[in-house]
Structure 1
């Protein structure tokens, strides 16, 4: 399948984390997989807790036909409130089956349901079950779909119950149960509910993580992929089971969200969201202008933030500016934007870098890139910086003052609205003091940018989510305390 009638951008939106570099891994993996298929003219990642942020990511899109896929396993607070709000979609609440389409700044932007609620996910559950037990099914086999569950949003468990019912109707298994970690019916009580001797458990989670690798196995006493449990008499006889029922064998599968078929589900969602009419041309003029100017500068050599770009016979070398003059043989050579991303997402000491413009870019590498790959590599190192830097250089950058950012926060972050100006400034001085960016949103002036030859002159148009989280901790009196961070 190819799209030839217009140029299209696909945006995969994930949660991300300020603390854990693995949180974004699934989104990166699917972006790479879909990018390799050549079905879209570009595939871009965006995050709530990392960069490019939800507030920035549309600026980084080259084309005016944009489809946004929430990389979440179910509907809920993030897909219905946070993402539409932060991306300015003018929509709150449940997303209709056909998605939401808006005209924003000369673009057609389509926002879909999260991939986890797509009907094709039922087959992904079956695939996961058959991976761990090839002959899964029959009178002696039960399927348990394990969801997270929450009392805060009823939609978070709806998709698990729906898939359980669909598979129940198909009659493949003797029993199909929807059980949860944090709400009833809880998965810890599975032995009182399940009669079958063979039990396949499939976690309905977006990625491998704490719950799938530790919480579930520990709570259920699982010993790996296959665990044998002795007679149910000691653990509580399942209602209706024969007296003295024997042992049960549990086959524990991998989470559905990491299955390669999810890439096909994403593509289906994007295709189904194509209904809205296009506006404008194929490219965004300000985006094109920013990158045209950047590439012209790069062809003559450019310094930007902590990096330097040097042309070499049709190729470009990118390295840390402090490694200038070092022999190439002493540096790790990278040849793709993805390799560069993986190498620079951690600091020298192995800490996660959720904010890419913090002055902690690791040294000791060089990237050798084609002219085609250079823009994505720069976007990888400094997301949205070219677009916002050019807007600042041409006096077109719109900044968002702190009170506006604070009023937009909801849920646990609504607390930041109580922050005094002194608290905001105190936290910003500490957090932003280690960042290359100048706080234009706080009234700081930036008369030149790296486009004008000042490498470290990068504008910050709005308080980032990392700063918002730190201000929340300050208001709560937890900042600096061990275990005080919730981001």
Structure 2
């Protein structure tokens, strides 16, 4: 008899608070899924005893035969999503250099999911955060800030997905304009300079699209804003996607959609 599991992978951090937000989210996922799936939360690096191979081993020890592996990352432009997929045997080769070694699956059948990307849940999170910063949307410019990548193909995915989010929240809330900026390559100062030159009358609402609060939200983004004088003209919330409940809602939706597909597949196999 098949037993199914869910392996949620995020990057990892040395900061306890970063990890705690992930754990809080995954506990909400477990609560909503109940006994539908065996759920494990693991990290790409930096968290001893909770790395990807550790999670695979725990699923196998629980008797899990098939698992959805869900990369809890912001964008498909993350090179980590690609290298993890390669190490899991999903992709024939990694598109960038990686220090990962292929994981030992021990017969575990896996289905590799997609990161949050342009999911409806991420739109809701961003909109909630913007509305807490906003006074009059028609007089404001949205600036979404993402990690980004210097790698060809990955950068374009970051830009496409963030641009889609920015435009949708602009339309929904009636903001005057919306744009994006990546940290890699460094675009924040250029974007702020352009906004200040073209529309100095607009308030800039800056929101970082990072999974959990930590070094990037507390140090890197403020530093980029300060280098362009952006701290004086931007309202920046310093928050992250978690602990918003829509992150857990996204994980649960992915899991249940996968379960439904698997159940339908079994029905077809049984009923021919």
TM range, smaller chain: 0.7 to 0.9
Q: CA deviation at 1:149?
A: 1.9
Larger relative contact order (Cα-Cα within 8 Å, sequence gap ≥ 6): 2
- Structure 2 segments unaligned to the other structure (5+ residues): 96-104, 268-272
Query: Would you say the 8 A contact 1:208–1:258 is kept in 2?
Result: no
Query: Would you say the 8 A contact 2:142–2:205 is kept in 1?
Result: yes
Q: Which has more radius of gyration?
A: 1
For 2:245, what is the secondary structure of its paired residue? Answer: coil
For 2:148, what is the secondary structure of its paired residue? Answer: coil
Q: CA deviation at 1:38?
A: 3.9
Task: Determine the structure 2 residue equivalent to 1:10.
Answer: 6
For 2:22, what is the secondary structure of its paired residue? Answer: helix
Query: Would you say the 8 A contact 1:202–1:256 is kept in 2?
Result: no
Query: Would you say the 8 A contact 1:85–1:92 is kept in 2?
Result: yes
What is the CA deviation profile of residues 105-157 of structure 1, one whole-angstrom value per residue up to 9, with x for unaligned ones? 66542211012442331121101112333x552x2121111112221232334
Task: Determine the structure 2 residue equivalent to 1:383.
Answer: none
Which runs of structure 2 are paired with 1:206-221 in the superposition (5 Å)?
A: 206-221=211-226
Q: CA deviation at 1:90?
A: 5.0
Which runs of structure 2 are paired with 1:69-80 in the superposition (5 Å)?
A: 69-75=70-76, 76-80=78-82
2:254 & 2:136 partners in 1: Cα distance?
28
2:252 & 2:92 partners in 1: Cα distance?
23
Which of 165, 171, 174 in structure 2 is aligned with 1:172? Answer: 174
In the alignment, does 2:58 pair up with 1:60? yes
TM-score (norm 1): 0.44
1:186 & 1:120 partners in 2: Cα distance?
25
Query: Would you say the 8 A contact 2:32–2:252 is kept in 1?
Result: no
Task: Determine the structure 2 residue equivalent to 1:160.
Answer: 162
CA shift in 2, pair 1:26/1:257, >3 Å: same
1:28 & 1:119 partners in 2: Cα distance?
22
CA shift in 2, pair 1:86/1:32, >3 Å: same
What is the CA deviation profile of residues 406-454 of structure 1, one whole-angstrom value per residue up to 9, with x for unaligned ones? xxxxxxxxxxxxxxxxxxxxxxxxxxxxxxxxxxxxxxxxxxxxxxxxx
For 1:55, what is the secondary structure of its paired residue? Answer: helix
CA shift in 2, pair 1:47/1:218, >3 Å: closer
Task: Determine the structure 2 residue equivalent to 1:272.
Answer: 257
Aligned residues: CA RMSD: 3.1
